[in-house]
Amino acid sequence: MPTLTRWHLRTGLVCLVLGLLALLLAALPSLAGAWFALGLVPVAIHLLVMGWATQMIFGVAVWMFPRQRGERSFGSPVLGWGAYGALNLGLLLRLVGEPLQASGHRAAALLAASAALQLAAVLAFVLNTWRRVRGT
């Protein structure tokens, strides 16, 4: 299993725990309806869908998809690690920005940066993976 896959899978599992924790916090009666809880629900959903499920797919795809010949057998390291870094930094910014925005604070820059990073991560992953999706 390549190093990048291990990082994706372990980070994905951490996101799964964080996502469930965020859902738990949002469901606590003492927090229900509060700005903090309102901001946590979309964060939790994206921790589960992007941070866990999509990240697990990214990691397993890097590992299992047919390899290219030559030294870059798992695809471009720049695109691979770029996707990993951008995805998780984007999620982290969202974790901070979304509850802030829900509380009435201005977090437009944080949310825009988070959006751009997550989209860049997807673009890097698709570019890196496309050539490895081939018949045999």
User: Terminal CA-to-CA distance of the chain, rounded, Å?
Assistant: 22
Grouping H, G, I as helix, E, B as strand and the rest as coil, residue 134 is coil
- Contact residue for other proteins among 28, 64, 73, 103 (CB under 8 A): 64
- The beta strand positions in the chain, using DSSP E, are none
CA distances (Å), origin 15, targets 10, 52, 78:
9, 5, 23
Residue 53 binds other proteins (CB under 8 A):
yes
- Min CB(92)–other proteins separation in Å: 14
Residue 91 amino acid letter: L
Q: Tell me the C-alpha distance between 130 and 65, whole Å.
A: 10
Residue 106 binds other proteins (CB under 8 A):
yes
- Considering only 1-9, 22-30, 68-76, 104-112, which stretch makes contact with other proteins by CB under 8 A? 104-112
Nearer Cβ to other proteins, position 6 or 131?
Answer: 131
Instruction: Find where tokens 């390899």 sit.
Output: 67
Q: Shortest CA distance to 80 belongs to which of 12, 136, 2, 21?
A: 2
| Structure letter (DSSP) for residue 70 | S
Nearer Cβ to other proteins, position 88 or 118?
Answer: 118
Binding mask 2-41 for other proteins (x = CB under 8 A): ----------------------------------------
- Considering only 15-23, 28-36, 71-79, 116-124, which stretch makes contact with other proteins by CB under 8 A? 116-124
**CB-based contact 36:98 (threshold 8 Å):** no
**Residue numbers of the site for other proteins (CB under 8 A)?**
49, 53-54, 57, 64-66, 94, 97-98, 101, 106-112, 114-116, 118-119, 122-123, 125-126, 129-130, 133-136
